Structure 1
Amino acid sequence: MTASKRGRASGASTPMILAIIAILVVLGVAAWFLIIKPNREAGAPAMKQSSASQGAPSSASSAPVNVASLTTDQLLAEARKALNDQRLLAPAGNNAFEFYLKVLERQPNNQVARDALRETFPFGANAAEQAINQRDFGEAQREIDLLSKADPENYTLTILRSKLDAQRKLQDHEQQAESDKLAQQKRQAAAQQAAAEQAAAAKASAQPSLAEAQAEKARQEAAAAAAQRKREQASAAKAPAKPAPVSIQDAVLTHQVKPRYPTAAVRSSQEGWVDVEFTVGTDGKVNDAHVVEAKPHHVFDRSAVDAVSKWRYKPALRNGKPMAVTMRRRIVFTLGRQR
């Protein structure tokens, strides 16, 4: 009877074990297609773009695409193709950023587009800076505007706008200086020609003595020199003042709160890290703290965000005035200490 009972119990538990195994297999397949595969597809183009940005620029000059007529899947495919062709921000109407932004316009929570924009933002900022250095100001402004749509609070945008403004003012100053130099050279040539004509006319009409001629020449040279000095003084007075330099100071941490080590992680001897992105306001307080990346996921997230939200900073300054900036910090959790 005992053996019979054991056989029935074993027979009843076998279907349950098989059912549990089947459920685990289904969950694994779903995780692959819904989470792992999309993230790999978004990450791979970004890595290709990073490598390509260090080499020779692409020669692609594709025509603008009718974005409104494309489906979401087609937009994502065009964005990946643009990344592979190194069309991150240009040309207008046919670049990866515009495709991903259009996806988010239709589906604000599309994680593939969000991750791709976040990962490629630094490379886009480098492209915009190159346009500034080449003094292609119209293109640089368009690219900065495009970057601001992807991450309007990013501190890098403030730096790019400051560089663009400084380069424009420097170009204006150089053009004005060159114009003044040409005008001055023309005035000098006219003055020298007039002095020569006056000297020739005086010599031909009066035939003065050598001493008188020399004295007249000296007077003419002195008058020309005086006139030249006046013109130089007038030109210096009209010259535009040099543009005021832009001074930017980073936010400084003044009060730090250490994160609490989760009890479950202590019991299981788990360690890891969490990347937290947040905004430091003009009052030095931390706002909008959120997790960007973590390993392992969802173990230390809450503890890291709670701690960072209590930090205090001396606010960042632009020409002495406080301004809000976006920052990113990694919180590391190791048994015995956190940092």
Structure 2
Amino acid sequence: MDTRHRFPMRRRMRGAINPVTLAVLIIVVVLAVAAYFLIIKPYHDANEGLVQQGATTAAKPGASREAPPANVDALSVDQLLAEARTAMNDQRLVAPAGNNAFEFYMKVLQKQPGNAVAADALRETFSYGAAATEQTINARDFNEAQREIDLLAKADPANYTLTILRSKLDAQRKTLDREQQQAQDAQKAQLAQQNAAATAKAQAEQQAAAAAAEAQRQQAARDQAARVAQQQPAAAQPQAPRAAAPARSAADEAITEAVLVRQVNPRYPTAAMRANQEGWVDVELTVGADGVVSNVNVVDAQPKHIFDRSAVDAVSKWEFKPAMRNGEPMTVTLRRRLQFNLGR
């Protein structure tokens, strides 16, 4: 049998491509390319946009406050996704309430539980939503922070980040309570200090006023004592008649003292007599050149103001032979003591 042309034919048959197989391969390639451009690429572009927008939201917490759709429940899935994309562009990731991307995506999942775009968007942007919530906690907007934590819990209730956020929220609340308590304590301490200062000032003013009043009283007493001393300048001890001094100091002058020629005994006060009181009165008197007594004053007495009037009345009626100097009468001042004794 001639086999010279059989082996080349077999080789050609083994190296040739079946047209059916080629057609199938072409169809698969075309479908793969179409799927990439129609499904895979748009999906990845959308996810990358969500991630970038989520990062921007975490970095810039100031979200737009435009009004939410009038009736969210009436929106279709496509409309909800469009609202979610708009919210992401406006940096409304988890706030404000009712008008944020997370709520729109979760509404999509309520209408269409298997929607991959919404589920992936929530999963991939969860960390950025948590970062935005953490900033709300740091801003100490505790009610809003609690709402955002509850919203994140609806999206991924088992995520451990929620535990961290709740711990931070509780810590911030305690810190704020402690700061408020410290501020109240400081305010109370300041008020107590002000009250103490006011009380001390009032006491100091009262003490100063009392000291000034006492000083005025003492000065008035000194002034009164000075006036009394001026009115009663006589010495406490009995003195010799002043007319005698010139007689001792001037040897060339002949001076004689005034001599009592008529003495009137004082009347014993009735009240003192009834009280069995005794005493004495020192009086100072002026004897004129005619021997008449004038200017009778009480300079000392014991007891005081009991026998004064009787003594002055009696002495005023005395008569003297005037004192003489070189034979000429002169006026002199004398001091006498009158005794008041009850005869027993």
- TM-score, normalized by length of structure 1? 0.52
Q: Distance in 1 between matches of 2:163 and 2:62?
A: 28
1:251-290 per-position Cα deviation (integer Å, ceiling 9, x unaligned): xxxxxxxxxxxxxxxxxxxxxxxxxxxxxxxxxxxxxxxx
Q: Distance in 2 between matches of 1:151 and 1:114?
A: 10
Q: Distance in 1 between matches of 2:175 and 2:57?
A: 31
Aligned residue identity for 1:124: G
2:185 aligned to which of 180, 183, 193 = 180
Equivalent in the alignment of 2:168: 163
Secondary structure, counterpart of 2:125 in structure 1: helix
Going from structure 1 to structure 2, the CA distance change for 1:203 and 1:99 (only over 3 Å counts) comes to same
Going from structure 1 to structure 2, the CA distance change for 1:58 and 1:181 (only over 3 Å counts) comes to closer
Going from structure 1 to structure 2, the CA distance change for 1:51 and 1:64 (only over 3 Å counts) comes to closer
Secondary structure, counterpart of 1:154 in structure 2: coil
1:72 aligned to which of 73, 77, 80 = 77
Aligned residue identity for 1:62: E
Q: Distance in 1 between matches of 2:183 and 2:89?
A: 43
> Is 1:108 aligned to 2:113, yes or no?
yes
Is the CA contact (8 Å cut-off) linking 2:61 and 2:132 kept in structure 1? no
2:65 aligned to which of 61, 75, 97 = 61
Is the CA contact (8 Å cut-off) linking 1:128 and 1:144 kept in structure 2? yes
Aligned residue identity for 2:47: A
Aligned residue identity for 1:88: L
Going from structure 1 to structure 2, the CA distance change for 1:208 and 1:181 (only over 3 Å counts) comes to farther
- Structure 2 unaligned runs (5+)? 1-5, 7-11, 216-344
Equivalent in the alignment of 2:298: none
Going from structure 1 to structure 2, the CA distance change for 1:72 and 1:205 (only over 3 Å counts) comes to same
Q: Please, which moves more after superposition, 187-196 or 145-154? A: 187-196
2:31 aligned to which of 22, 26, 49 = 26
- Structure 1 unaligned runs (5+)? 210-339
Equivalent in the alignment of 2:125: 120
> Is 1:84 aligned to 2:89, yes or no?
yes
Is the CA contact (8 Å cut-off) linking 1:46 and 1:119 kept in structure 2? yes
Aligned residue identity for 2:141: D
Is the CA contact (8 Å cut-off) linking 1:76 and 1:99 kept in structure 2? yes
Equivalent in the alignment of 1:256: none
Going from structure 1 to structure 2, the CA distance change for 1:130 and 1:185 (only over 3 Å counts) comes to same
Q: Distance in 1 between matches of 2:185 and 2:151?
A: 38
Q: CA deviation at 1:157?
A: 1.2
Equivalent in the alignment of 2:42: 37
Going from structure 1 to structure 2, the CA distance change for 1:171 and 1:180 (only over 3 Å counts) comes to same
Is the CA contact (8 Å cut-off) linking 2:63 and 2:95 kept in structure 1? no
Q: Distance in 1 between matches of 2:128 and 2:153?
A: 14
Q: Distance in 2 between matches of 1:38 and 1:81?
A: 17
Going from structure 1 to structure 2, the CA distance change for 1:16 and 1:187 (only over 3 Å counts) comes to closer
Runs (4+) of structure 1 exceeding 6 A deviation are: none
Q: Distance in 2 between matches of 1:52 and 1:142?
A: 17
> Identity, % of aligned pairs?
51
Aligned residue identity for 1:96: A
CA RMSD of aligned residues (A): 3.6
Going from structure 1 to structure 2, the CA distance change for 1:202 and 1:104 (only over 3 Å counts) comes to same
Aligned length: 208
Aligned residue identity for 1:114: A
Is the CA contact (8 Å cut-off) linking 1:64 and 1:91 kept in structure 2? no
Q: CA deviation at 1:57?
A: 5.1
Going from structure 1 to structure 2, the CA distance change for 1:35 and 1:12 (only over 3 Å counts) comes to closer
